[in-house]
Amino acid sequence: MSILEVSHISKSFDRTEVLKDICFSLNKSDVMSIIGSSGSGKTTLLRCLNFLEEPDTGVIKINGEKIYDAKDQEYLSEAAKRSNRLHFGMVFQSFNLFPQYTALENVTLAKELHAKREPDFKAHKKDVLEAIREEGKALLTQMGLADRFDNYPHQLSGGQCQRVAIARALAMKPDILCFDEPTSALDPELTGEVLKVMKELADQKTTMIIVTHEMSFARDVSDRVLFMDDGYILEDGTPDEVFNNPKEERTAQFLASFNS
């Protein structure tokens, strides 16, 4: 069964329709890459999944359960969005780390704040916080940052920052981890280290949606590839189908622009 079902999502900004009747589903443990030229709506689609934008129409289901329905007020409250968006982790192009916190604190902050909301937090405070810290350290270690726990973001390279951001997203144990051009803000020599940890996550069967311009990476790690153009999904298939036998002329044109 699919972990994610997106049906008939649309989104307009000032009467310009940026997403048009988006439908797709995703199986657990699959990696889906979304490719497409700039302005085709990839970022907006990710932002709709975690409600940084509210879709104008459509339904989003996780494990068969509705987490969003544009027609139903119940899903639009701040509290509903706050709890439902936790199904998705988000890694931004520009990292968006919290500058005043160390790498480890960036990873643990949200977990700690969530724990503090629990009624029995006070009773187990020390153990809970210790467990969160240990988890954070394990995640950073997994990201190859075992020696960087106490560094502040400005003391880290772009590649290291992005890996902290990935650890921060993983700390919330999302069902699906989303990436919005995670290497686009990096110097070319730093993209490799980020793609490497993403590949490792894919190998560990992490369900991921990756918006990327790294075509060979997308071809290599993806189970599914979506090609978006002007707010539509034009292709939805295996890497082989989309890269080698695209259905649409537009896709072939787009792919050709990468080979030249």
Ligand X SMILES: Nc1ncnc2c1ncn2[C@@H]1O[C@H](COP(=O)(O)OP(=O)(O)O)[C@@H](O)[C@H]1O
Binding site residues, Mg ion, CB under 5 A: 43
Residue 173's alpha-carbon distances to 59, 90, 97, 139, 235, in angstroms, are 23, 11, 18, 11, 30
Instruction: Identify the residue whose tokens are 């129409």.
Output: 57
18 is in the binding site of which of another protein, ligand X, Mg ion, none (Cβ under 5 to 8 A by kind)?
A: ligand X
| 60 is an interface residue for another protein by CB under 8 A | no
- CB of residue 30 vs ligand X: minimum separation in angstroms? 21
Cβ proximity of 201 and 143 under 8 Å? no
Q: Are 150 and 106 in contact (CB under 8 A)?
A: no
> What percent helix, strand, coil does the chain show, rounded to 5?
45, 25, 30
185 counts as binding another protein under rule CB under 8 A: no
Q: Give the nearer residue to ligand X in terms of CB position, either 36 or 55.
A: 36
* One residue of 42, 85, 163, 224 binding another protein per CB under 8 A: 85
Residue 77 binds which of another protein, ligand X, Mg ion, none (CB < 5-8 A, kind-dependent) = none
Regarding 256 and contact with another protein (CB under 8 A), the answer is: no
Which residue type is seen at 83? S
Gap between the terminal Cα atoms of the chain: 40
Of the candidates 152, 105, 167, 113, the residue with the CA atom closest to the CA atom of residue 133: 105
Q: Please report, as ranges, the residues that interact with ligand X according to CB under 6 A.
A: 13, 18, 36, 38-44
Q: Which does 39 bind (CB under 5 to 8 A by kind): ligand X, another protein, Mg ion, none?
A: ligand X
The answer to whether the CB of 160 falls within 8 A of the CB of 100 is no
Question: Which part of the chain contacts another protein (CB under 8 A), choosing from 23-31, 96-104, 194-202, 245-253?
Answer: 96-104
Tell me which DSSP letter residue 101 carries: S
The least distance separating another protein from the CB of residue 78, rounded to whole angstroms, comes to 7
Question: Smallest distance, Å, CB 17 to another protein?
Answer: 23
With respect to another protein, which residue has the nearer C-beta, 209 or 225? 209
Q: Which residues contact 90 (CB under 8 A, 6 or more apart)?
A: 46, 50, 169, 178, 180
* CB of residue 123 to ligand X, shortest distance in Å: 44
| Nearer Cβ to ligand X (47/224) | 47
Helix axes 158-171, 121-142, angle to 10 degrees: 140
Amino acid at 161: C
Distances, alpha carbon 40 to alpha carbons 43, 85, 228, in Å: 8, 23, 6
Give the nearest distance from C-beta 16 to another protein in angstroms: 20
Q: Binding string, 141-170, against another protein, x = CB under 8 A?
A: -----------xxx-------------xx-
Q: Is 94 in the site for another protein (CB under 8 A)?
A: yes
117 phi/psi in degrees, rounded to 5: -80, -15
Binding site for another protein (CB under 8 A): 50, 52, 78, 82-83, 85-86, 88-90, 92, 94, 96-100, 109-110, 113-114, 152-154, 168-169, 172
